[in-house]
Structure 1
Amino acid sequence: MKKKIIVTLVCVGIIAFVVFKLASNKKKINEKNQPAQVEDVRIPVTATPVSEEIQDIELIKTGMLAPFKEAKVLSVSSGNIQRLLFKLGDHVQQGQTLAVIDTRLLEIDLQKAESNASKLKRDLQTYTELLEGSAATQEKVNDIRQSYNDAQSLSQQLRRQIADATIKSPISGIIGNKAVEEGMFITAGGEIGSIVNLSQLKVEVYFTEAEVYQIKVGQKIKLTTDVYPDKPFYGTITFISPQANQAYNYQVEITANNDKNNPLRSGTFIYADFSRTTPQKVLLIPREALNASTQDASVYIAKDGKAVLRTIKVGAEFGSKIQVTEGLQTGEQVITSGQINLKDGTLINISK
């Protein structure tokens, strides 16, 4: 009996030891299977705040040339175009006949209207004499007089329509567009072409409030183009808008004579040099803060311990700094080194 008890205790001890070892081994295995704790890795960078400084900005504006005068040639009457007297590129003078609309039907109607008016005039004379002899009524005379007046009005209207069938040039210039061909039907108000006058040219540019008070009407302006890089043109400020537009800019118009030897065409980009500088507040960042070229500019800003990618627009360069025209605000921290290791949202550590 005593031997059985000893064997039982030994077995229980062995089982307990095995259970303990199994539990210990399971704990170790579970600990090994736990993912390793990775500490946050922060990329060291340097940063500098966006600054606002006063800089002398050259007053050079870009604009587009427009014709001194431009007009559409419209038909007042409708009908088939009997004669078309111009071609694309023709030089025409104000009042010159450009097209003639077929008026044969109108001329027939005019003959009928004038014949009717002549008959009614004779009838009116006859019945007026009869009225004096009490052989006709006043009502009859009044009816004939009204018909005679209507016939005269119709004749005048037809003569005006025939005159309007001759379409004349509203201004002097060059035919820039031809919208019809001979024989085509055109309605009243239809366009037959357009004329541009390039003897003089206009340039429209826009100024900020700080800039517009630096110029005045009558001021001489130097104009240059990429078409004739070595040939300057000179114009005069002829208009300064008294009121700003919705963007708080003021329209300025410059008029210049076109050079016959080096003619400029409407739509050409032009640079207007106002030969002076004006102090302006501008946002500046270090040039090395840019991630790419100035054409596709972007920077990383430091925000809440992370690098945040920001697309910006840049302007003129001032030494080692460059102007920011859009995308940043004063005081924001732009990263100036370490960008090669960054992407949007990367954790960073700003080095002092």
Structure 2
Amino acid sequence: MPKSDSRPDLTQVLQASRAPRRRWPWAIALLAVALTSWLWLRPEAAPTTLRYDTTPVTRGDLTVTVIATGTVQPTTRVDISSELSGTLAAVMVDYNDEVSEGQILARLDSTNLQSRLTTAEAQLAAAAGRLIQAEASATEAAETWASTAALDQRGLAVRSTVIAAKAANDRAAASVAIAKADLQLAEASLEEAKTDLAKADIRSPISGIVLNRAAEKGMIVAATLNAPVLFTLAEDLSRMQLQVDIDEADIGRVAVGNAANFSVDAYPGRSFPAQITQLRYAPEETDGVVTYKAVLTVQNDDLLLRPGMTATATITVAREPGVLLVPMAALRYAPPISDGAGRSGGGLLGLIMPSGRGSSRGKADGSSIYVLRAGAPEKITITAGASDGKMIAVSAATLAEGDQVITGQSDR
């Protein structure tokens, strides 16, 4: 009896390995049919509705302002130094003292200056004497020359005598001119000595108040290009100025004559009036930020404001009374624009995508707003006016007070 072969038939093995693989295409096809049937037969989803955020149109006064910060300063501020070098012999004023124009604030030691004045007076007297002497010699020389010239005309004078007389007369005239110049020089030296002696008294150039005093008795003062400031004076603190920095984005809206109100930390809750009197063209740059200096006049009759106080000013740049007002957000709103990619688009992708997902937000250009009427947005073309950053003045033929302008929307 032949021996049976225990190895499996190769054909049976191959058929066994292929059998499971033939079922996968049918399984995938059945899954696709089932999914398509479910999407086609499923209940229609509830349509998405929009909820509009609205704000009523109001009528009122619009005030446009610009905020700026700066410091309170005296209208006139003077730093006083000494024109001469020397030692301070006396200091006559102190902080907060009121001074008048020409009043002595301090005095330098004038011993050397007095000696220079005495020397100058003596030099002037000597120069005056030399002039008298020169004039006398000139008179004598002129007489001699006249006599010699007369004899020379009659042929009775020796030629050498004539020449000597003429030279003596010329030298005498020159001596007089030199003596006069020396006299003028002596007079100038005397005036200089008197002026320097007067400058030993350091006087106030204005009437005002002493803000700062660095001078002390015995202090040595060196009159150089960088002479130390001995006193700082302010003129009439009852009328001061506020210097503020206007941002370059706001400088075009600000003008001379604009009214303003400002506050300082020393008096919280209190407002002080001011008015712009100067807008400077020179730019000032700090950390890449460009600003321009504005100067405002301030009345300080009660002397509450002090130099150097930090102030925050609110400058009124425009007023529009009785205008229609809407929020700035209304100019940035535009309703959605549908692109048609809904359920009606056909195909499997159209079935899978929910209705309304293909819509996009429209673009607002600031020339129109949308008013909610009969539950739908209605576009209204407007003319925009001034804005304070939150509200804007608008005008339109079909816009009235109380209309509900749309500022936003949300799905519901």
Per the normalisation by structure 1, the TM-score is 0.57
Q: Count how many residue pairs are aligned between Structure 1 and Structure 2.
A: 230
Q: CA deviation at 1:75?
A: 0.8
Structure 2 unaligned residues grouped into runs of 5+: 1-62, 145-167, 320-326, 333-388, 391-412
* Aligned counterpart, 2:140: 133
Residue matched to 1:155: 190
Q: What RMSD over aligned residues (CA atoms) do the two structures have, in Å?
A: 3.2
Which residue of structure 1 lines up, in the alignment, with residue 297 of structure 2? 255
Residues in 1 aligned to 2:265 and 2:229: alpha-carbon distance in whole angstroms? 34
Q: Shift of residue 158 of structure 1? A: 0.4
For the pair 1:85 / 2:120, whether they are aligned, the reply is: no
- Sort the Cα spacing of 1:209 and 1:75 in 2 relative to 1 into closer, same or farther, 3 A: closer
In 2 relative to 1, CA 158–258 (structure 1 residues): closer, same or farther, beyond 3 Å?
Answer: same
The structure 2 residue matched to 1:234, chosen from 252, 273, 285, is: 273
The whole-number CA distance in structure 1 between the counterparts of 2:245 and 2:116 is 56
Q: CA deviation at 1:248?
A: 4.2
State the Cα deviation string for residues 263-311 of structure 1 (Å, max 9, x = none): 1122222121124579999xx9xxxxxxxxxxxxxxxxxxxxxxxxxxx
Following TM superposition, by how much is the alpha carbon of 1:140 offset from its aligned partner in structure 2, in angstroms?
3.6
Percent of residue pairs identical = 26
Alignment-derived partner of residue 73 in structure 2? 66
Partner of 2:310: 269
On the 8 A contact 1:207/1:252 being kept in 2, the answer is yes
Mapped partners of 1:61, 1:190: distance in 2 = 34
Q: Which amino acid aligns with 1:272?
A: A
Give the whole-Å Cα distance in 2 for the aligned partners of 1:227 and 1:113. 57
Match in the other structure for 2:9:
none
Contact 2:255-2:317 at 8 Å conserved across structures: no
**Deviation above 6 Å: which 4+ runs of structure 1?**
277-281
AA aligned opposite 2:234: V
Decide whether aligned partners of structure 1 residues 259 and 232 sit closer, same or farther in structure 2, where only a CA change above 3 A counts.
farther
Give the match for residue 204 of structure 1. Answer: 243
What is the Cα deviation at residue 172 of structure 1?
A: 2.6
**Matching residue's letter, 1:157:** E
Match of 1:118 among 122, 125, 129: 125
Partner residue of 1:16?
none
- Which aligned pairs between 1:287-306 and structure 2 lie closer than 5 A? none
What amino acid is the match of 1:274?
I
Q: Deviations over 1:6-65 (max 9, x none)?
A: xxxxxxxxxxxxxxxxxxxxxxxxxxxxxxxxxxxxxxxxxxxxxxxxxx9852222222
- Which residue is 2:106 aligned to? 99
Q: Residue deviations 1:61-112, cap 9 Å, x none?
A: 2222222221111111122222211012212122221112222322222222
Kindly name which structure, 1 or 2, has the bigger radius of gyration based on alpha carbons: 2
- Map of 1:192 onto structure 2: 230
Which runs of no fewer than 5 residues in structure 1 stay unpaired? 1-55, 285-316, 319-352
Residue-by-residue CA offset, 1:143-174 (whole Å, 9 max, x unaligned): 43333232222111101101111111122322
